[in-house]
């Protein structure tokens, strides 16, 4: 398998990307194509032992910065690393693209470069969100690709989420929840009211509305929402977790005995941290575009990008694009052939 890595994307590029590529190429036996400025990439590669690894360099002279306006930047910078990466994918020179760069830019580059899967109205950015279930996480989408949506987009997000969860995450018959302000069917925005009958009429394992607290509690395997709410939800969760950790550290430091106790508790803290660590999954698939594209967190380190490469490999192996395409072409009202009803 040939992975295409935007070597210039992310807060710690290109160092983190190159380190990740070396790591992933070794661990997962992959070819990782490094797209970006040759001098910068070569300088980073020189810091690693790359014996026996296949890490071809694909030159791209430009970089789309984090602060740039996504669509404008993608249109103007034809030789930007993420644009070149999408072209490689489009022309069959690789199986999946990973970028930790400007996520709006990656979205725009994917839309311009790859287009959408036939029949998909809008792509959705998904993330793995930790929860209290046996598997320990759910899939949450959209988290930012579409700030304003229509009911039929949300239905498609649910469908794509179903396929990704069942095929790539190996969750059989995933429970689909619609993020809302109450569990009752009449709770929620007009949008929620409009999408509910569509989800009920589908063959998806739709469990109804889920509230904000139900997501970490693990009530749904796939949580569907618009990109505005989803983005605020995941960033809020990140902020709350960070506030809790900081506040706890402050309270512990203020107490000498607690400081001693904290040393003993540390392994438990580490285990918790690993559970909540976004880096374990590295990145979220941009579902609905015509190719496997994984968007990693802007502040990804090498470990996060290494794991994003693994996610990309799995999605490509399972041919998620083909699965979604087939799912859409099933007879109306029966889109999910694996589901036997509920």
Query: Which positions touch its own copies (CB under 8 A)?
Result: 67, 69, 130-132, 144, 147-148, 179-181, 184, 186, 188-190, 192, 211-217, 225, 227-229, 231-244, 246-248, 251-252, 254-255, 257-258, 260-269, 271-272, 275-276
Q: Which is nearer to its own copies, 53 or 210 (CB)?
A: 210
Cβ proximity to its own copies, 31 vs 193, nearer residue: 193
Between 241 and 328, name the residue whose CB sits nearer to its own copies: 241
Q: Nearest-CA neighbor of 128 among 12, 275, 4?
A: 275
Parallel, antiparallel, or unpaired for β 283-287 and 124-130?
antiparallel
Distance CA 170, CA 18 (A): 30
Tokens 């790539």 -> residue: 168
Alpha helices in the chain (DSSP H): 15-28, 38-45, 70-76, 81-90, 103-113, 151-163, 190-201, 214-217, 227-253, 256-276, 302-317, 320-329
Angle, vertex CA 82, rays to CA 80 and CA 83, nearest 5: 65
What residues have CB less than 8 Å from 241, skipping those under 6 apart? 276
Pairing state between β 2-6 and 96-99: parallel
Min dist CB 276 to its own copies, Å, is: 7
What is the nearest approach in angstroms of its own copies to the Cβ of residue 235?
A: 3
Nearer to its own copies, 79 or 132 (CB): 132
Helix (H, G, I), strand (E, B) or coil at 223: strand
Q: How far is CA 42 from CA 15, 35, 58, 140, 239, in A?
A: 10, 11, 11, 37, 36
Nearer to its own copies, 41 or 215 (CB): 215
CB of 195 to its own copies, least distance (A): 13
Half-sphere exposure of 183 (CA within 13 A, CB side): 6
Residue closer to its own copies by CB (options 46, 213) is: 213
CB of 124 to its own copies, least distance (A): 14
State the minimum distance, in angstroms, from the CB of residue 35 to its own copies: 25
The three-point CA angle 193-136-259 to 5° equals: 120
CB of 146 to its own copies, least distance (A): 10
For its own copies, the closer CB: 255 or 326:
255
Min dist. Cβ of residue 260 to its own copies (A): 6
């Amino acid at each position: 398998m040939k992975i295409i890595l935007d070597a210039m994307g992310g807060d710690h590029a290109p160092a983190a990307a190159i380190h990740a590529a070396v790591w992933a190429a070794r661990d997962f036996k992959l070819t990782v194509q490094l797209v970006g400025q040759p001098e910068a990439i070569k300088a980073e590669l020189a810091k690693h032992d790359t014996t026996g690894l296949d890490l071809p360099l694909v030159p791209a002279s430009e970089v789309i910065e984090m602060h740039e306006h996504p669509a404008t930047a993608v249109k103007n910078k034809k030789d930007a690393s993420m644009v070149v990466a999408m072209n490689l994918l489009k022309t069959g020179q690789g199986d999946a693209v990973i970028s930790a760069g400007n996520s709006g830019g990656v979205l725009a580059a994917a839309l311009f470069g790859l287009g959408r899967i036939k029949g998909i109205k809008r792509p959705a950015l998904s993330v793995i969100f930790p929860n209290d279930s046996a598997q320990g996480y759910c899939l949450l989408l959209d988290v930012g690709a579409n700030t304003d949506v229509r009911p039929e987009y949300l239905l498609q997000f649910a469908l794509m989420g179903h396929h990704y969860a069942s095929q790539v995450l190996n969750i059989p018959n995933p429970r689909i929840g619609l993020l809302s302000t109450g569990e009752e069917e009449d709770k929620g925005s007009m949008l929620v009211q409009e999408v509910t009958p569509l989800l009920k009429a589908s063959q998806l394992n739709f469990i109804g509305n889920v509230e904000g607290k139900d997501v970490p509690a693990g009530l749904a395997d796939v949580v569907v929402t618009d990109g505005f709410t989803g983005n605020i939800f995941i960033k809020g969760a990140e902020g709350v977790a960070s506030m809790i950790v900081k506040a706890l550290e402050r309270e512990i430091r203020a107490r000498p005995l607690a400081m001693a106790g904290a040393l003993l508790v540390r392994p438990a803290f580490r285990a918790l941290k690993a559970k909540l660590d976004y880096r374990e999954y590295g990145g979220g698939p941009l579902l609905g575009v015509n190719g496997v594209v994984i968007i990693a967190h802007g502040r990804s380190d090498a470990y996060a990008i290494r794991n994003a490469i693994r996610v990309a490999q799995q999605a490509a192996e399972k041919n998620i694009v083909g699965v979604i395409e087939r799912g859409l072409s099933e007879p109306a009202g029966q889109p999910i052939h694996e589901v036997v009803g509920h």
